[in-house]
Amino acid sequence: MVKKDICQILNSLSKEYDRGAYPGRSSEGLNPEWECDPFHVLIATILSQRTRDDNTRKASDNLFSKYNSINEIASADPEEIIELVHSAGFPRQKGTAIVECCKVLRDRYDGVVPYETDELISLPMVGRKTAACVRSYAMGIPSICVDTHVHRISNLMGLVKTKNAEETEFALMRITPRDRWSDINRYFVRHGQVVCLPNHPRCERCSVCSMCDYYIKVLKK
Ligand code: SF4
């Protein structure tokens, strides 16, 4: 097994990809009207659960074009929000959670998204991944947002040996300097979308294959 330095991997990937973006928000200049603020990142990340980026983008565009603040969503008719977010899938679950979430933010936090992980994960449909995404992309707080790409690639490469996203988050924290935590989501997600595709990774195009256990153990054999 080759010795791996996650900073070296992140440095290599940073040469290929831009700075990444939170779920559903294009890093290529589409939908630039959405601010990268805690409100937009929180709602878009809730919408992104169990769906593809293009569906998240459609649902977020629909929602934000009509309701673009915590107060507006908190006072909205939940049925209308459910209709607006339909393209993200699970519309009733997500729409209801988004309205409830905005009500809590309005009533308990004076309309400001809190920054502590424990407070964030107490909101409806907000888990560690969503909390880390908000902290990292919207607040600039070093956090490791572990989505399906980050969990999969970290295990394929042999950086961690974990069964679920939460284990991956803590394992990556142990091997990564804190000031690089946010880079993991930025670069691994792009790598997972472009090269290390689920089910058929394009290892022949991968700039970090010399540091990947899957490539060394499985493919080279
Ligand atoms: S070598 Fe293949 S499996 Fe490993 S990170 Fe690159 S694309 Fe993914």
Gap between the terminal Cα atoms of the chain: 13
For the chain, percent of residues with pLDDT exceeding 90: 81
Residue 140, CB-side half-sphere exposure with 13 Å CA sphere: 0
Same-domain pairing of 163 and 99: no
The pLDDT assigned to 218 comes to 80
Ligand 1 is surrounded, with C-beta below 6 A, by: 153, 156-157, 195-196, 201-203, 206, 208-209, 212, 214-215
Same-domain pairing of 117 and 182: no
Same-domain pairing of 132 and 153: no
- Please indicate, yes or no, if residue 150 is contained in any of the structural domains: yes
Of 104, 139, 174, which residue sits at a domain end?
Answer: 139
Asked if residue 106 has pLDDT above 60, the reply is: yes
Asked if residue 119 has pLDDT above 70, the reply is: yes
Q: Is 199 left (phi over 0), alpha (psi -120 to 50) or beta?
A: left
Average pLDDT estimate for 46-54:
90
Closest residue to atom 1 of ligand 1, CA basis: 209
Atom of ligand 1 nearest to the CA of 201: 7
CATH number where 165 lies? 1.10.1670.10
Lowest average pLDDT, out of 56-65, 102-111, 120-129, 178-187, goes to 56-65
Asked if residue 159 has pLDDT above 80, the reply is: yes
Lowest average pLDDT, out of 31-35, 45-49, 95-99, 203-207, goes to 31-35
Q: What is the mean pLDDT of the chain?
A: 91
Taking the CB of residue 73, how many other CB atoms lie within 10 A of it?
Answer: 26
Are the CB atoms for 158 and 70 separated by under 8 Å? no
Average pLDDT estimate for 118-132:
97
Tokens of 58: 């459609």
Atom of ligand 1 nearest to the CA of 203: 2
The pLDDT assigned to 30 comes to 45
The pLDDT assigned to 29 comes to 45
